[in-house]
Structure 1
Amino acid sequence: MKSFKISTSSPEETMNFSANLANKLQPGDVITLEGDLGAGKTTFTKGLARGLNIKRTVNSPTFTIVKEYEGDLPLYHIDAYRLEHNEEDLGFDEYFEGDGIVVVEWAKFIADYLPEERLNIEITYQEQDGRIIELLPQGQRFEKMCRELTE
């Protein structure tokens, strides 16, 4: 699997990058976000929301598991952190096969439910407010998208 990396030096730069990514997404696209607590997963999602012209405040759905936002395309923000040992079917396929963009934080906890073609993103700390965003596309369309975003 090919990987692409970019560095950002502030939360605003991270949001600008993800807003740009949002402009390339299509209904049904799934993005997974991995990173330590405080790495910037929700900040990244806020940028996606901005790129989709979502007006509501975006925050982590830790306790509700899924938050839905309306914009140019619907955005479904899933936080799977609390689902590590959950065996019940929570109907994620309805989101993954739906008409919006799906962002999954802590996706490793629901890996069996994820579609094969998706964009995996790992966010790691750099100095001060900097982040390294590693794009790990699964599927040719996502690979092409990542190449365009990082050139």
Structure 2
Amino acid sequence: MRTWEFATGTAAQTQELAGQLAQLLRAGDLIILSGGLGAGKTTFTQGLGRGLGVREGIISPTFVLVRIHPNLPDGPNPGGPDLVHVDAYRLSSSGEIDDIDLENTLDSSVTVVEWGVDRVEHLAESRLDIELLRASGSASAGPGHDPVDGTGGDSSFDVEGDDDEPRTLRLSACGPRWHGVDFAVLGQTASQEKGTT
């Protein structure tokens, strides 16, 4: 497994990086997003969706668990894969993941799973693990912090807070699908833009 690290200074740069990544993706690809409250998981997915050419309106699927964003036949990537956006925060096991039948869409879509670490790795032989880290700001509350019972902030809400604060994205490529792919080119535009602000 090889890891690349990228820095972005704004939400637009995060989305631009995700849009560049979208150009490397195809149906069947699995992306696991991790990061604390307000890390930018949904912001990243919005940029990814734009790059894939899917229907607008990407929001966190916290309460519905899964949202499917179809490819637009008259969009920038006609005939491309749909985007399946999953929030696995409230799912405690791979068995519960299996219950939502992602296998039915996995081969024909790009699947992005927020909070999917240790829950969805069994779905595909290859995957991209992307961790988003805020440079400052709110604490990285993780699963188990629920405002309903007073134990802290519920990180199942990907509240973007200050979208334009700096973020670090760590991308790890796992499996044969990504063998030999150099993701370093993704950061060039974001780094150049960051240097001009």
Q: Which structure would you say has the larger Rg?
A: 2
Quote the sequence identity (%).
36
* Displacement of 1:109: 5.1
Could you tell which deviates more after superposition, 29-38 or 137-146?
A: 137-146
Give the residue type in structure 2 aligned to 1:37: L
Could you tell which deviates more after superposition, 58-67 or 131-140?
A: 131-140
Structure 2 counterpart of 1:138: 174
Q: CA RMSD in A?
A: 2.0
Offset from partner CA, 1:101-132 (integer Å, 9 cap, x none): 00000012523533131111000011461110
Pick closer, same or farther for the CA change 1:92–1:113 going to 2, 3 Å.
Answer: farther
Give the residue type in structure 1 aligned to 2:90: R
- Equivalent-residue separation in structure 2 for 1:119 and 1:86 (angstroms): 18
Offset from partner CA, 1:127-150 (integer Å, 9 cap, x none): 461110000000244250524424
Structure 1: give runs of 5+ residues left out of the alignment. Answer: none
- Equivalent-residue separation in structure 2 for 1:24 and 1:56 (angstroms): 20
The TM-score normalised by the length of structure 2 is: 0.69
Structure 2 counterpart of 1:111: 120
Please tell me whether the aligned partners of residues 50 and 56 of structure 2 are also in contact (alpha carbons under 8 angstroms).
no
Q: Give the number of aligned pairs.
A: 150
Structure 1 counterpart of 2:132: 123
* Displacement of 1:94: 2.2
Structure 2: give runs of 5+ residues left out of the alignment. Answer: 72-79, 137-163, 189-197
Structure 2 counterpart of 1:73: 81
* Displacement of 1:87: 4.0
Structure 2 counterpart of 1:149: 186
Structure 2 counterpart of 1:61: 61
Give the residue type in structure 2 aligned to 1:69: H
The reply on whether 1:92 has 2:102 as its aligned counterpart is: yes
Structure 1 counterpart of 2:159: none
- Equivalent-residue separation in structure 1 for 2:103 and 2:40 (angstroms): 26
Please tell me whether the aligned partners of residues 24 and 145 of structure 1 are also in contact (alpha carbons under 8 angstroms).
no
The TM-score normalised by the length of structure 1 is: 0.89
* Bigger share in strand: 1
Please tell me whether the aligned partners of residues 134 and 167 of structure 2 are also in contact (alpha carbons under 8 angstroms).
yes
Pick closer, same or farther for the CA change 1:86–1:113 going to 2, 3 Å.
Answer: closer
Please tell me whether the aligned partners of residues 9 and 131 of structure 1 are also in contact (alpha carbons under 8 angstroms).
yes
Structure 1 counterpart of 2:148: none
